Amino acid sequence: MAISTLSKLTVPLDSNASASNQGLLMPKLQYRFRVSLENFGVSSPSTELTKQVMDVTRPSVSFDQMTVDIYNSRVYLAGKHTWEPITINLREDVSNNVQKLVGEQLQKQFDFFEMSSAASGSDYKFVTRIEILDGGNGANAPSVLETFELYGCYVESANYNTLNYAESNPVTVTLNIRYDNAIQTPQGTGVGTAIGRTINTAITGGGST
């Protein structure tokens, strides 16, 4: 009898809005995540960066405001969208794996010795994946709860940060990463999944739910 009351520990909803026996679901946790960078730098494996990630910001999108004046009224529509850069903080390791990969990526974008730029974006752009995990490890492999895939990435800025005699913190590098587009996978979990629109039954997105 006591256990059944756990289903009451949530926000009350209409009878048709949620299962009667469903309580509050387990939230995703901020510290259970993994970041991977595909085609970043030239050295292998680039998973050394994954092990040294300290924190990362999730994608953020905004729409320009389009104002349309009509007779006595004014309406607002969504204009072009912009994906804001994300920030990744990395620990530097004593083998210089992080420093090497970051330097290689910057060098792909611009040759600082020859002072020459890349011929096209395809020469240096990479893919960033931000995965939220369920906490499994070792024998119990983690399940991926959510993935943001960021396409057309490049390093907008690299900050090698500060050294300080009075601190015991690790040396860090901060990367701001600009990207062209972002979707959430698998299909049906968010941005990038096809939906039906009310006019002309148009379907847009990367696939059916």
pLDDT 10s digits, 92-145: 999 999 999 999 999 999 999 999 999 999 999 999 999 999 988 878 888 999
Q: When comparing pLDDT for 108 and 2, which is higher?
A: 108
Express each pLDDT in 11-50 by its tens digit: 777 766 666 566 777 889 999 999 999 999 998 878 889 9
Q: For residues 158 and 124, what is the distance between their CA atoms, to the nearest angstrom? A: 15
**What domains are there in the chain, each with its CATH number?**
27-204 (2.30.110.20)
- In this structure, the number of other CB atoms found within 10 A of the CB of residue 13 comes to 11
Angle value at C-alpha 55, between 206 and 34, nearest 5 degrees: 50
